[in-house]
Amino acid sequence: MKSRITGTGSYAPAKVLTNADLERMVATSDEWIRERTGIRERHIAAAGEACSDLAVQAGRRALAAAGLPATELDMVLVATCTGDYPLPSTACLVQHQLGATKAAACDIAAACCGFVYALSVADAYVKAGMRHVLVIGSEVMSAITDWTDRNTCVLFGDGAGAAVVSAGDGERGILSTHLRSDGNLNELIAVPGGGSRMPPSEKTIAERMQCIKMKGHETFKVAVRNLEEIARETLAANHLRVEDLDLYVPHQANLRILTAVMERLGLPAEKVMLNLDRYGNTSAASIPIALDEAVRAGRIRDGSLVMLGAFGAGLTWASAMIRW
């Protein structure tokens, strides 16, 4: 039994925040942002538009693409670090809104790697007997962004992407998934306040500890090395070469990171899906949004060999190989 992606969908909020807009908010410039990140604009959720709202939109589109009613879902997984509430899970809210009446539901917390981690969970459950699992990456990163910090506020955007993972047979499907973590490097990317370690207080709010903090230089080096290594591990596990790939869909974090990884792997630009110039870093949503765009643009067809690669807070990194 193979688990196959039978439908994809994505959603981005209507509001677009450009680099020119950011120039009026912090001491930065369009040229500086594009040169250092590759980002031109990003989508920002409207007031009252929460993580579950984005997830439901993407989930509906994925179900429509798969031709599957929500009532047939066995499980809903939502990868997010910006859920609606500490509890209940955002996945339960999505399950209700979609009308997935017989589905189990839970969130996966692995930051930017969340979608690939959740895809791995879905793959395991389908191989264990489930028929259909909806995997969603949804983020409202603007809710945890410090809009006074020019080093981080230029990076992030909001959005959601989804995939229906269903049971099938034959050679096509998810060939392998590879998950890694190193908690020793947890401070490189973190939101230090708001949890049980540092509950909300006047101090945490005044110091914006409920916002994301990053050590960019250190993160860059680790990200490039680990993305390259896990890509090579994934290729080797499937007895494949870089030349065999039809498309590499990486987490859309920073163009300089992705360019370095492409150069190390020897991947030509035409075999890499890049859309961070229009979305920025949407954390767990970035890979499924890019995946959906690639499918709808015809860059992924039946039989295509597709590799996913992600890196994020934790630290975590992950990959998956898929025969479409």
Is pTM beyond 0.95? Reply is: yes
Q: Catalytic pick from 19, 226, 254, 281?
A: 281
42 forms beta bridges with 17
d(CA 322, CA 301): 12
Q: Is 281 a catalytic site residue? A: yes
Name which of 91, 90, 99 is nearest 60 in CA terms. Answer: 99
pLDDT at residue 1, rounded to an integer: 82
Q: Catalytic pick from 51, 112, 153, 211?
A: 112
Q: Is 275 exposed, middle or buried (0-12, 13-18, 19+ CB in 10 A)?
A: middle
pLDDT at residue 193, rounded to an integer: 96
**Chain segment 79-135, per-residue pLDDT in tens:** 999 999 999 999 999 999 999 999 999 999 999 999 999 999 999 999 999 999 999
* CB of 293 closer than 8 Å to CB of 9: no
- Phi first, then psi, for residue 160 (nearest 5°) are -150, 145
d(CA 137, CA 78): 6
d(CA 122, CA 74): 10
d(CA 194, CA 209): 7
**Chain segment 245-282, per-residue pLDDT in tens:** 999 999 999 999 999 999 999 999 999 999 999 999 99
| CA 272 and chain centroid, separation | 16
Average pLDDT of adjacent 10-residue blocks, the chain of 324 residues: 96 98 96 96 98 98 98 98 97 98 98 98 98 98 96 97 96 96 97 96 95 94 97 98 98 97 97 98 98 98 97 97 98
Name which of 33, 8, 37 is nearest 20 in CA terms. Answer: 33
- Cis-peptide into 315, omega within 30 deg: yes
pLDDT at residue 57, rounded to an integer: 98
Q: Is 184 a catalytic site residue? A: no
* CB of 78 closer than 8 Å to CB of 138: yes
Q: Catalytic pick from 43, 132, 178, 251?
A: 251
Q: Is 251 a catalytic site residue? A: yes
- Give the full edge-to-edge strand order of the sheet including 132-140: 2-11, 158-168, 132-140, 75-79, 104-108
